[in-house]
């Protein structure tokens, strides 16, 4: 009889041990080879490895979302925007499904660990899926679909703030890109609204004064023009610069999207080791210098500028996770109650205090923080804008504080705005 009862207890412990061990391993987070390929700018090779990992996981793998997120980012950095969109659209669908975790899967994490279940994505990561889709469409010259994705960014954030009761804010990057894209389509009314909303989030952003004044002029709003003159201390030179990309201008504009650094990493929280906490990664570069040179006249005078911070991913990630802590702690308390109940059952069935104690220790030992995240995200998004004559240009970007220069050739037409992107990872 005792052997039978001991066997039952051993079965309990065996199942818990298997669940605990399998829950601790993340194939994607352990893959340093892909990270090194991405860091060295070998985006195509990184994408190939991520494709293999995604296929090995399948749509139901616990790291499936992680693979698709990084795959979309690798293709984006490689300039393969269509392939990036395909991966990100799959990721968006999976992230939506993961929001509705089954009760049995959720209850199972009471006894083992959060990382034993499918990775559902952090809130800010789900928003950035649509942000990257919008950037891809903008880089492809498809303003209409880019604006659709930016509206989805707004919608997701609105839902998180209202239904999720989060103290989140709208995306500065999304708002500002919307303004630029509406302007590119000569939709000055919507552009004006987007720029105003950007000003609410980041009132001191350097380009905004001219953007707002220009749209007010296009909409024939003299009182508003005066308002922006006063708020941003605009002078005649500022007006002239603002009108260089107005509706009557034959100039073109090159818009540089710069993804800087690497996002924070999750480690166990010192106060609650079974909960994750974001920690800043080492990011020596704060901005980049950009040089724009005519490709047809290499000896001509070049334009030089620097990238400006538009959205801080690191700060958003850390703030959003802290916002969720109360709910996470409540779940851990409920989990502790469940663990004690299960240990009591094992002890009662086996009539062995030792097995009850071992069950407790195994369950608490397997309860580790889920340290998974969208691994290859940048620390922040930055932007630089250059007004040029129509033609071909070499755009060179140098991260200040790091070695290496990246350059891309871009062709621009009169009255058009063209987007290009660069990525630096330390």
- The pLDDT score that the predictor gives to residue 323 is 87
Per the DSSP assignment, residues forming a β-bridge with 43 are: none
Instruction: Please compute the mean of the pLDDT values over residues 203-228 and round it to a whole number.
Output: 97
Give the least confident one: 78-87, 110-119, 232-241, 271-280. 110-119
For residue 362, pLDDT beyond 60: no
What's the pLDDT score for residue 9?
46
Confidence of residue 336 (pLDDT cuts 50, 70, 90): low
- CA torsion sign, 330 to 333 to 339 to 342? negative
Residue showing tokens 């260089």: 244
User: What kind and span of H or E run contains 218?
Assistant: helix 208-218
Look at residues 317, 315, 328 and name the one whose alpha carbon lies nearest to residue 369.
328
- Reported for 152-155, long-range contacts at CB under 8 A and 24+ positions apart, including other chains, are 153/127
Q: Which two tokens stand for residue 194?
A: 């987007």
Hey, where are the domains in the chain? Answer: 2-186+247-252+311-381
pLDDT value of position 100:
46
What percentage of the chain carries pLDDT values higher than 70?
A: 81
Q: Which two tokens stand for residue 46?
A: 């990184």
pLDDT band with cut points at 50, 70 and 90 for residue 163: confident
**The CATH number of domain 2-186+247-252+311-381, selected from 3.40.50.720, 3.30.1330.10, 1.25.40.10, 2.40.30.20:** 1.25.40.10
Assess whether pLDDT exceeds 70 at residue 348: no
* Measured distance CA(88)–CA(76) in Å, rounded: 10
Structure-token match 């500065």, residue found: 172
Residue-wise pLDDT for 97-143, tens only, equals 765 444 344 444 544 556 668 899 999 999 999 999 999 999 999 99
pLDDT recorded at residue 301: 73
Res. 334 pLDDT band, cuts 50 70 90? low
User: What are the φ and ψ backbone dihedral angles of 120, each rounded to 5 degrees?
Assistant: -90, -15
- Do residues 232 and 208 touch, judged by C-beta distance below 8 A? yes
How far apart CA 80 and CA 76 sit, in angstroms, is: 6
Among residues 58, 128, 56, the alpha carbon closest in space to that of 92 is found at 128
What pLDDT does 117 receive? 81
Residue 318's pLDDT band (cuts 50, 70, 90): very high
Any alpha helices (H) in 58-171, and if so which ranges? 64-77, 81-98, 103-111, 123-139, 143-162
- Per-residue pLDDT tens over the stretch 27-52: 899 999 999 999 999 999 999 999 99
Total Cβ atoms within 10 A of residue 21: 12
What per-residue confidence (pLDDT) applies to 332? 58
- In whole angstroms, what is the distance from residue 26 CA to residue 35 CA? 14
Which pLDDT score, from 0 to 100, does residue 161 have? Answer: 85
Out of 26-35, 143-152, 167-176, 326-335, which region has the weakest mean confidence (pLDDT)? 326-335
Distance of CA 224 to the CA centre of its chain: 35
Q: Considering only 283-292, 317-326, 410-419, which range has the smallest mean pLDDT?
A: 317-326
Q: 190 pLDDT exceeds 80?
A: yes
Q: Looking at 351-407, list the stretches that DSSP marks H as alpha helix, in order from N- to C-terminal side.
A: 353-366
Best-predicted range by mean pLDDT (58-62, 89-93, 245-249): 89-93
pLDDT band at 341 (very low <50, low <70, confident <90, very high): low
pTM: 0.86
Mean pLDDT of the chain: 86
Q: Is the distance from CB of 89 to CB of 148 less than 8 angstroms?
A: no
Structure tokens at 82: 């269509």
């Amino acid at each position: 009889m005792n052997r039978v009862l001991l066997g039952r207890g051993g079965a309990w412990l065996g199942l818990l041990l298997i669940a605990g061990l399998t829950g601790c391993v993340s194939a994607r987070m352990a893959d340093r080879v892909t990270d090194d390929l991405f860091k060295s700018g070998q985006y195509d090779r990184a994408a190939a490895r991520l494709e293999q990992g995604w296929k090995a996981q399948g749509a139901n793998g616990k790291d499936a979302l992680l693979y698709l997120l990084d795959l979309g980012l690798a293709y984006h950095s490689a300039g393969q925007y269509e392939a990036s969109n395909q991966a990100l659209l799959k990721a968006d669908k999976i992230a939506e499904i993961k929001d509705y975790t089954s009760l049995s899967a959720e209850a199972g994490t009471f006894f083992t660990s959060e990382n034993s279940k499918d990775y559902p994505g952090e809130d800010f990561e789900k928003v950035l899926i649509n942000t990257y889709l919008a950037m891809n469409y903008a880089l492809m010259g498809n303003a209409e679909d880019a604006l659709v994705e930016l509206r989805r960014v707004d919608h997701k954030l609105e839902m998180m703030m209202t239904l999720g009761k989060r103290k989140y804010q709208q995306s500065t990057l999304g708002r500002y890109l919307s303004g630029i894209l509406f302007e590119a389509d000569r939709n000055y009314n919507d552009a004006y609204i987007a720029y105003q909303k950007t000003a609410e989030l980041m009132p001191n952003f350097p380009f905004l004064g001219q953007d707002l004044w220009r749209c007010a002029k296009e909409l024939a709003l003299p009182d508003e023009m005066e308002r922006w003159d006063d708020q941003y201390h605009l002078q005649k030179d500022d007006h002239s610069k603002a009108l260089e990309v107005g509706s009557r201008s034959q100039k073109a504009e090159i818009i540089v999207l710069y993804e800087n650094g690497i996002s924070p990493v999750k480690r166990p929280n010192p106060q609650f080791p079974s909960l994750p906490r974001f920690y800043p990664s080492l990011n020596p570069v704060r901005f980049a210098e950009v040089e724009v040179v005519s490709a047809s006249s290499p000896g001509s005078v070049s334009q030089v500028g620097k990238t400006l911070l538009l959205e801080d991913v690191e700060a958003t990630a850390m703030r959003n996770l802290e916002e969720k802590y109360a709910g996470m702690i409540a779940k851990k308390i409920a989990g502790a109650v469940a663990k004690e109940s299960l240990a009591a059952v094992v002890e009662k069935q086996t009539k062995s205090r030792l097995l009850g104690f071992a069950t407790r220790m195994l369950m608490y030992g397997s309860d580790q923080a889920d340290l998974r995240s969208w691994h290859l995200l940048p620390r922040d998004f930055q932007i630089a804008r250059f007004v040029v004559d129509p033609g071909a240009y070499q755009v060179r970007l140098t991260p200040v504080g790091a070695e290496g220069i990246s350059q891309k050739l871009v062709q621009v037409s009169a009255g058009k705005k063209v987007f290009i992107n660069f990525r630096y990872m330390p």
